[in-house]
Structure 1
């Protein structure tokens, strides 16, 4: 929402309720906490902008303020951005507004974390640093207009933020300072900082900034790609991976030559299929790096497209580590960001005009939306999009998925893969159709091919590559994966147990043990961790996530945690308790994956249980799998225990199955999805899987298969 500063101050003084209502609709954030925070923070911001220090620079006479600015092609929202000019060029100042009570807050061991009310949160200055770096490296107007971008934190309720500025935060707060409320007329604080960054208005720059799009700073992209290209340990390619890699680049070379000779832009779609552990993610990174490092890509965007929040987190962490700073995260473009701009408000307006806007009418919806003439993701905005785990892309147009959760995607926009092809000149999809897990994961190679043809991609520009026959996880054993699929009745191919490492089979390459109880499971994993290996607990959603919104869930009484498992050990009745993976204030899976210093899981890697999405695109040496009676073996077949299925992404399938009497196709579909879920869990470790199976009959069956 772009306003003149004077206009903003007047709204705060005379019509604050309407302003807050508009922001609530804009951001779709409507909690009482958000409303209260806006009311207080906006009043304090208005007071600061009316400060005498800013009067000589005419901030109120034409300076611009963007409220709740959604960074281009990102899910991040900046609370406030002041836009104008400094002494030399356009200038943007990002202000993170924090209406926090700071009482009792303590420093953490890292400059990026703070213990807020006992739980680790991102330090607000680090949050601002992420926004600033994103704008510097991925905002069209900042890059093309050579604008300066700076940032700060404004605590709008606190008068003392000493904890946030002391050790170990001196360096980060020197660059991204922290301010609190100061008496009106004081020569220090936020107004003084703003007066150094902004000297005069620039409404034209403000307008261009507000409409900015995602582009890439080539120097950063080349830096990351060079490091990935040179990392021969993490990103090595073998056999079919190398073939797939060379085929992808060969097809792109041909496309570039054809484009150069004919001056006509053609699209290219490459579909790479492979089973779990076949190296699709490494191949995706190498393809991205090769394209980004190619001098012919000058001025073109090459992105990694993520298909889930967990996968996005994993890729962002990787690229941040490679880049050496947060801007590396901006290379990752969530699939939801390919929506050209269709919103709920637009849908309501069109329906009021008599247009039947539904998920099934998505093609007509796009034609209606095109009449507006404004789009957030234009055709061919991205030169190349590399989509890992493309099987998780959402196709809401299918009749049988009507009503499923949209996971942040506007279902009226149609299939995500369609928009990726539309918005990209080159689209590379890496997928395993058998890993489609949620009700809304409905994208297949055939559908991708269909949409490519619909968008005018020549048949000769649609390539399919298969990575079958190679295995990097599970001790490199294709036979182990085949055994898992056999046990789950996903195939009936011959299998053997030569892969299993036991005292009698020292040549085995993969550990698999079924523990007697959770306590033994912990002992097995802890021994591996103490030997220097990475290890975690994971489980299917066979328990409710009761603690998701509880900030200090680790300290709950055992019976109130997500997992409170009864078992008998040496004749004694016992309980084992734990919580689901902690998400933190940023609702990120990196807490569980990275276990940063200061976090509970850094102290004890077995104090949380990872959900199924945590292991997507990220590997641990050993995994302890809690198999908790959602998928059970009964006599001679697999069955679903409805009361232990709590996967919210299966609500539609579960509801249909519960209403079947006798059990029929919906129950069969639920069992199929449960099997796919366990296939994912059981094929994600590098060296070994340790199991505790709650249901005795199921436990006996698995042991009999060994």
Structure 2
């Protein structure tokens, strides 16, 4: 079931927008403010005031839409304000629900409200627009076009009916001449710009899409519609061979980043200089979706593009899924092609300058200081090139997608600041794009922030969890409770995994070919996933643990879980991260990670890597997470931060999710 802030017919809302000269805000605006605070308190336990720009849009822009409806005799059309898009925290400003005057079927118009009086487009980035904020924003017409397409992809009631939804951007304060550059972007039925000079065409759009009939049934139909589950990265990768088949519908900063890369490579191929694109975002912000959609779009245009990472689990999973369902006689060739297309950061030192058009560095926070390893010749060890420089040299347009808080090893240096520094020292132009959306944890940006606060990443302060109606957070008193709960979810059809901090040894299989139950907790014992380079019957290889259903019986470590996501995840917090003095502290002596054991590794690096590891593990879930700590004091602290336990009945999900 979709969320929204407020819902009423246009005729009813028309009465609420009438304002006397003594009133600072319209009655409707005051109602929306109170409803916003009420919903926030219900979700998070405390009230929150809406931002000034939101209040101004409700008070100044929303009435223009309502008057346009009533002026066309469309007072019975239903108005949904701040309508939440599936699986994300993005919201459409207004959705108008009614009946199509021609077909008699449900019909919807998405309206994005912009109060700016002027706007300009970036001279070299066609969808980057200056709307008076401190950074470039996605062109509002492209924004609403993508919102329409996103609803069509995920709402089961709309699937296959491209004409059921129309999109409009309303800049009622601006004249055409003041936003002339915005009209360069081609308009479609899913997105068109209307200004102060085009209010009559806007009214005509409403009349063409909505009949003077009650829209309540159409609104409820959309709200109650089942929603298709989001595709997993490896689920769709094999579809990228088709080329023209779009993998993901990108929203807001995601789409801005994608278009920036496409236009940068156009400039470079036309004789321009090398450009570097850096895309920074937290867990679930859609970085890997951008990476795979870019790879597909660029390959379809005939450009030489490579997907690179420093994580074996990600790269090998992508290689396997790329050749999945290959036509008869094509599998061997596709496996070879996958090896070339999906590669590792340290392989670019062997490539010549500008030897490929684009290198897309997924999980770029795992870039190392250099590519030296045990196979590197002695003479090359003396003064090695930075690994980032090797990648930059090999690509005409290098693209780095990263999270500043997901590096896991002391030698990993991939932060936005570091890459900007490399670009500057190399004398190259760069573009930094920050992703603000959330496409995991049922779109719960609040959960992502809560995890960051809980672990004091970036010196944040832990806060109690308040259910937000999206993500479910539970604690377990024993690891067996956690496992039983996950098993029940798996029987319901959910994907589940157990993961843990690296606090137990990781043994090779026995001579009989069996996994060793290394993770032992008060009589409960389970094995890690298969050790890299080893093979065990009836268990997936380490790099395939995340995508093979047989992985549910083993404990995954951060190196096999990073990048991937599952419906439910059980997280075991080990003795390397315990609660003291109202926050988590790191105990270096408890880690078994061989990368962090040497004395030469600084305490600060151990602290950073362990916190980041749990940050990764706690943000792998789509629907819910179960947390268990081996430390009794920490369990007590978690109880005070997370009220619900696995012994409570599981809440019913807000949305009906349809598996693909």
TM-score after normalising by structure 2: 0.55
2:508 corresponds to 1:547: yes
Distance 1:579 1:516 in 2: 21
Say if 2:405 is the partner of 1:434: yes
Q: Where does residue 255 of structure 2 map in the other structure?
A: 242
Distance in 1 separating the partners of 2:401 and 2:384 = 22
Report the alpha carbon displacement of residue 279 of structure 1 after superposing the two structures with TM.
Answer: 0.5
Q: 8 Å contact 1:631–1:671 — kept in the other structure?
A: no
SS of alignment partner, residue 339 of structure 1? helix
The CA deviation at 1:699 is 1.0
What is the SS of the residue equivalent to 2:575?
coil
1:225–1:293: 8 Å Cα contact kept in structure 2?
no
What whole-Å deviation, never above 9, does each CA across 1:41-92 have from its counterpart, x for those lacking one?
xxxxxxxxxxxxxxxxxxxxxxxxxxxxxxxxxxxxxxxxxxxxxxxxxxxx
In 2, the alpha carbon distance for the partners of 1:691 and 1:271 equals: 33
* 1:379 Cα offset (Å): 1.1
Q: Does residue 444 of structure 1 match 2:453?
A: no
Query: In the alignment, is the contact (CA less than 8 A) between 2:366 and 2:413 conserved in 1?
Result: yes
Q: Counterparts in 2 of 1:33-112, with a 5 A limit?
A: none
Which string of whole-angstrom CA distances, capped at 9 and with x for unpartnered residues, describes residues 370-428 of structure 1? Answer: xxxxxxx211112211110111011149xxxxxxx948777553211100111111101
The match for 2:342 is 332
How far does residue 465 in structure 1 lie from its aligned partner after superposition?
1.1
**What SS class does the counterpart of residue 689 from structure 1 fall into?**
strand
Alpha-carbon distance change, 495 to 541 in structure 1, aligned in 2, over 3 angstroms:
closer
| Alignment partners' CA distance in 2, 1:678 and 1:452 | 31
Q: How many residues align?
A: 390
Is residue 316–residue 544 contact of structure 2 (8 Å, CA) maintained in 1?
no
* Unaligned residue ranges in structure 1 (runs of 5+): 1-221, 260-264, 341-376, 398-404, 501-507, 567-573, 596-600, 658-665
Report what 1:175 is aligned to.
none
Cα separation, 2, equivalents of 1:454 and 1:289: 31
Report the Cα distance in structure 1 between the residues aligned to 2:256 and 2:442, rounded to whole angstroms.
22
- Residue 265 of structure 2: which of 252, 257, 281 is its match? 252
Asked if structure 2 preserves the Cα contact closer than 8 Å seen for 1:229 and 1:290, the reply is yes
In structure 2, C-alpha distance between the alignment counterparts of 1:688 and 1:454, rounded to whole Å: 44
Tell me the residue number matched to 1:109: none
2:294 matched to which residue of 1?
287
- Cα drift, residue 339 of structure 1: 2.1
Per-residue displacement from partner, 1:24-45 (whole Å, max 9, x unpaired)? Answer: xxxxxxxxxxxxxxxxxxxxxx
Matches within 5 A, 1:219-618: 225=240, 227=242, 229-232=244-247, 235-257=248-270, 259=271, 266-295=273-302, 297=303, 301-321=304-324, 325=331, 326-330=335-339, 331-340=341-350, 377-396=351-370, 406=373, 412-457=383-428, 459=429, 462-467=430-435, 469-490=436-457, 491-492=459-460, 497-500=465-468, 508-547=469-508, 552-554=513-515, 561-566=517-522, 574-583=523-532, 585=534, 588-595=541-548, 602=550, 605-618=551-564
Cα distance change on mapping 1:496 and 1:545 into 2, 3 Å:
closer
Per the alignment, residue 203 of structure 1 pairs with none
- Indicate how the Cα distance of structure 1 residues 546 and 585 shifts in structure 2: closer, same or farther if over 3 A, else same: closer
Equivalents in 2 of 1:494, 1:644: separation in Å? 22
Instruction: State the shift of 1:585 in Å.
Output: 4.4
How big is the shift at 1:668?
A: 4.5
In terms of fraction of residues, the more helix-rich structure is 1
Root-mean-square deviation (CA), in Å?
A: 2.8
| Alignment match, 2:40 | none
Q: For residues 579 and 421 of structure 1, what CA distance do their matches in structure 2 show? A: 36
Query: Which range is displaced more, 605-614 or 675-684?
Result: 605-614
Q: Encode CA deviations 1:193-214: one digit per residue, 9 max, x unaligned.
A: xxxxxxxxxxxxxxxxxxxxxx
Instruction: Give the C-alpha shift of residue 520 in structure 1.
Output: 0.7
1:274, 1:431 within 8 Å by CA — same for their partners in 2? yes
Tell me what 1:154 maps to. none
CA distance in 2, matches of 1:520, 1:493: 29
**2:394 & 2:566 partners in 1: Cα distance?**
35
Deviations 1:670-704 (A, max 9, x none): 23322111111001111111122110001111221
Counterpart of 2:565 (choices 596, 619, 636) is 619
**Partner Cα distance (1:523, 1:537) in 2:** 11
Using the alignment, how far apart are the partners of 1:588 and 1:441 within structure 2?
Answer: 24
Which residues of structure 2 form unaligned runs of 5+? Answer: 1-236, 643-660
Shift of 1:564: 2.0
Shift of 1:484: 0.8
- Corresponding residue of 1:571: none
Checking the alignment, whether the CA contact within 8 Å between 1:482 and 1:495 is kept in structure 2 is no
Contact 1:396 1:414 in 2 (8 A): yes
